[in-house]
């Protein structure tokens, strides 16, 4: 197998987020400057409690910049941003420790939001990747329930916080023949750019141009998941560990408040292009539903649409949105209260899952981040 080279959001990304006034701030344990013989003591242990950013930050994607800063991007939603109730068009966050996050503004404003689809279409499920020296931020552009007119666009910037320049449409339902053209994951593999996407009508991949701004001439969509024209998953995220590629997918309904049954499963393959299988041996391109990673619990429901990153200890962490059952399922204005959560991934027989297959709801040790 060729040595892989991937500019994924794999080693990018995130874990925790917390507003300055949030109750989720890390706590610390004791630690000194130096131990016996002048050897530095181990880093202080820090703890967090989910959710790490609230009330709303849905469908997160993450990337880690060269200086170690993590950046997260979320679905456009009506919520309180900087003390004002308004719609944020792809809100951006930054963090040095994966737990304490700062709101950094939006990719688009009301006046700069893309206009190549109707104004009542939503801008959802962003997808960030760095290609060369340019950051490509992909976004889904669709009407709720309109599987026939969906599309994925892209904006570019020279810095993770912009300024962003919209570059227009990348793929559409009409051009690819794929219904529900949303929820992309874009990555670089062996110096070529690929996009995986799909939502409930199968999952596909296609090769993009070298700059990732259009479909490569002559490239066709290739199906990697779904039995026929319908599947039960969306929200792809691809990451590699050892000799396998792990394709995370979200299942169920995403947006029903505290009645939401969203959850994350995973498939794996020896190539990023499949074929993918669950632990039960059933193929993704068939009847397989994958292997469970996280599901509803007594404390959190609707845990899904995840990203994956690593900390400086090499541990894998999943970042996702979920509903805290102790709080209302919606906020003022009717927006689903999909708050940001993080959890460490544990590996059993080569398959990832959160502890007890649920969201951490008690004080939990944070990811390890080295001092820089």
Measured CA to CA, the distance from residue 292 to residue 40 in angstroms comes to: 40
Does residue 277 surpass a pLDDT of 80? yes
Tell me the pLDDT tens digit for each residue of 19-59.
Answer: 333 334 455 554 434 334 444 544 545 899 999 999 999 99
Asked whether the CA dihedral 318, 322, 326, 332 is positive or negative, the reply is positive
Does residue 202 surpass a pLDDT of 80? yes
Residue 69 φ then ψ, to 5°:
-75, 140
DSSP for residue 37: G
pLDDT band at 372 (very low <50, low <70, confident <90, very high): confident
Task: Please give the full DSSP string across 154-183, using - where no structure is assigned.
Answer: EEEESSTT---EEEEEEEEHHHH--SS---
Tokens 């779904």 map to which residue? 226
Does residue 70 surpass a pLDDT of 80? yes
Query: Looking at residue 5, what is its pLDDT?
Result: 40
Average pLDDT score over the chain: 89
Asked whether the CA dihedral 255, 258, 259, 265 is positive or negative, the reply is positive
12 or 193, greater pLDDT? 193
Q: Which two tokens stand for residue 333?
A: 């204005």
Tokens 């279409």 map to which residue? 121
Residue 176 φ then ψ, to 5°:
-100, -20
In this predicted structure, which of 124-128, 223-227, 251-255, 273-277 has the lowest mean pLDDT?
Answer: 223-227
DSSP for residue 83: T
Tell me the pLDDT tens digit for each residue of 219-255.
Answer: 999 999 986 555 789 999 999 999 999 999 999 999 9
> Residues of the chain with pLDDT > 70: what percent?
87
Highest CATH level, class, for 44-316+332-365: mainly beta
Does residue 319 surpass a pLDDT of 60? yes
Query: Looking at residue 39, what is its pLDDT?
Result: 43
Where b means 16+ CB within 10 Å and e means fewer, 30-61 reads eeeeeeeeeeeeeeeebbbbbbbbbbbbbbbb
In this predicted structure, which of 10-24, 173-187, 281-295 has the lowest mean pLDDT?
Answer: 10-24
341 touches 73 (CB < 8 A): no
User: If residue 225 lies in a helix (H) or strand (E), which one and from where to where?
Assistant: strand 222-225
Does residue 7 surpass a pLDDT of 50? no
Q: Is the pTM of this model over 0.85?
A: yes
Q: Which two tokens stand for residue 308?
A: 């994956």
Please confirm whether the linkage preceding 5 is cis (ω < 30° from 0).
Answer: no
* Average pLDDT rounded to a whole number, residues 342-362: 96
Name the β-bridge partners of 342: 319
Does residue 152 surpass a pLDDT of 60? yes
**Can you give the residue ranges of every domain in the chain?**
44-316+332-365
pLDDT band at 146 (very low <50, low <70, confident <90, very high): confident
Residue 37 φ then ψ, to 5°:
75, 15
Query: Looking at residue 4, what is its pLDDT?
Result: 41
Does residue 370 surpass a pLDDT of 70? yes
pLDDT band at 314 (very low <50, low <70, confident <90, very high): very high
Query: Looking at residue 230, what is its pLDDT?
Result: 58
Does residue 307 surpass a pLDDT of 70? yes
Measured CA to CA, the distance from residue 271 to residue 278 in angstroms comes to: 14
């Amino acid at each position: 197998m060729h040595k892989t080279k991937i500019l994924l959001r794999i080693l990018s990304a995130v874990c925790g987020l917390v507003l300055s006034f949030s109750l989720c701030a890390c706590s610390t344990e004791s630690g000194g400057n130096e131990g016996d013989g002048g050897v530095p003591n181990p880093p202080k242990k820090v703890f967090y409690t989910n959710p790490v950013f609230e009330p709303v930050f849905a469908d997160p994607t993450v990337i880690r910049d060269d200086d170690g800063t993590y950046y997260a991007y979320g679905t456009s939603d009506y919520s309180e941003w900087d003390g004002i109730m308004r719609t944020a068009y792809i809100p951006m966050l930054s963090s040095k420790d994966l737990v304490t996050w700062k709101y950094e503004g939006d990719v688009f404003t009301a006046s700069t939001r893309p206009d190549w689809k109707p104004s009542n279409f939503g801008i959802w499920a962003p997808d960030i990747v760095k290609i060369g020296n340019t950051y490509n931020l992909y976004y889904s552009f669709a009407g709720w329930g309109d599987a026939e007119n969906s599309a994925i666009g892209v904006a570019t910037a020279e810095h993770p916080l912009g300024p962003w320049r919209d570059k227009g449409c990348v793929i559409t339902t009409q051009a690819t023949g794929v219904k529900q053209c949303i929820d992309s994951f874009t990555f670089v593999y062996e110096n070529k750019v690929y996009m995986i996407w799909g939502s409930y009508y199968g999952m596909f991949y296609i090769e993009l141009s070298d700059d990732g701004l259009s479909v490569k001439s002559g490239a066709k969509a290739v199906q990697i998941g779904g039995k026929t024209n319908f599947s039960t998953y969306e929200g792809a995220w691809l990451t590699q560990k050892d000799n396998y590629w792990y394709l995370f997918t979200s299942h169920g309904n995403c947006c029903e408040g505290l009645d939401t049954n969203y959850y994350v499963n995973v498939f794996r393959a020896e190539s990023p292009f499949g074929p993918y299988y669950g632990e039960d041996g059933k193929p993704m391109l068939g009847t397989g539903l994958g292997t469970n990673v996280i599901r509803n619990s007594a404390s959190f429901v609707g845990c899904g649409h995840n990203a994956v990153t690593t900390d400086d200890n090499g541990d894998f962490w999943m970042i996702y949105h979920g509903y805290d059952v102790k709080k209302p399922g919606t906020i003022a204005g009717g927006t689903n209260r999909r708050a940001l959560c993080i959890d460490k991934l544990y590996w059993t027989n080569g398959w990832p899952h959160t502890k007890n297959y649920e969201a951490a709801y008690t004080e939990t040790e944070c990811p390890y981040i080295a001092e820089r």
